[in-house]
Structure 1
């Protein structure tokens, strides 16, 4: 499928390709998995998401990556580094979204740590953020487990969003 970007003990993170459409749609069509996003996505919106991600690879050499179980190859979700504007400044976000069947296994934290390490050691990035809806406690816990702390509240897409950050 896509090219492997990095790995961790249990996970392989690779570049997203159009063949990932059905797997991503499993997450994007799930109202529970998408609870903190503006809405679920249909097939065309998921295809646009892949296009946007591939554009980020071209423009910034970073983006969301597909997360798979290293041993089985099973699709678990997506996690990666995404450029985000915060108060007029471009910062690198660690973003993550996993299918519900993968929740509760530590995969998201492991993938986020792998992204931190990759960004630091291969891209010379030393500051990372995560933008999290304030009542999304599972995402806040992931951010805290990778060493992020609450920085401030901002307004993004007409919603209040918490900025969690870490400086390495």
Structure 2
């Protein structure tokens, strides 16, 4: 069962499954794709990531979804809405991480924009955030392209990130 949550012109975003380990490992084992994360992930850590994501579906009605090309079904990456603790409260973040071979095609912007619409429309959220590393120009551009505004720089995950936000 495909379990498509969001569909755009070119993309399907579907619920993550345990058998997505191999797809996710393409990203998580790539040091360049993971440059702004604390480290790459092995298979065991990837399984934990999938479990955390599935828990988010249950607890928040959202999480990271697998992004696939609509025409071929090819795996491109992950994008979705995840809880983050900011200043002691839970905010919902649009997060995105794509396989390097798919960079530069507008997939992250298309998927993140669809997640923003889903968050405000389906989930009735009043605010969404994004937390790109201050040096991650590609992710910063995606946040700006989907209409988010930089609010401030914060320290999270032991590094400086920009807090972008958008209001419904």
TM-score range, shorter chain: over 0.9
| Deviation for aligned residue 1:126 | 2.6
Q: Tell me the TM-score normalized by structure 2.
A: 0.97
- RMSD of aligned C-alpha atoms? 0.9
Unaligned runs of 5+ in 1: none
SS of alignment partner, residue 105 of structure 1: coil
Question: Do 1:2 and 1:17's aligned partners in 2 also have CA atoms closer than 8 Å?
Answer: no
Residue 44 of structure 1: aligned partner:
44
Query: Shift in Å at residue 90 of structure 1?
Result: 0.9
Report if aligned partners of 1:81, 1:115 keep a CA contact under 8 Å in 2: yes
SS of equivalent to 1:132: coil
Match of 1:53 in 2: 53
Q: CA deviation at 1:133?
A: 0.7
Match of 1:11 in 2: 11
Q: TM-score, structure 1 length as denominator?
A: 0.97
Cα displacement string for residues 82-129 of structure 1 (whole angstroms, at most 9, x for unaligned residues): 011111121110000000011000000000011011111111113111
Q: Deviations over 1:10-29 (max 9, x none)?
A: 00000000111100000000
1:123 corresponds in structure 2 to: 123
In the other structure, the counterpart of 1:84 is 84
In 2, Cα distance between equivalents of 1:2 and 1:72 = 14
- The list of structure 1 runs, each at least 4 consecutive aligned residues, that deviate by more than 2 angstroms after superposition, is none
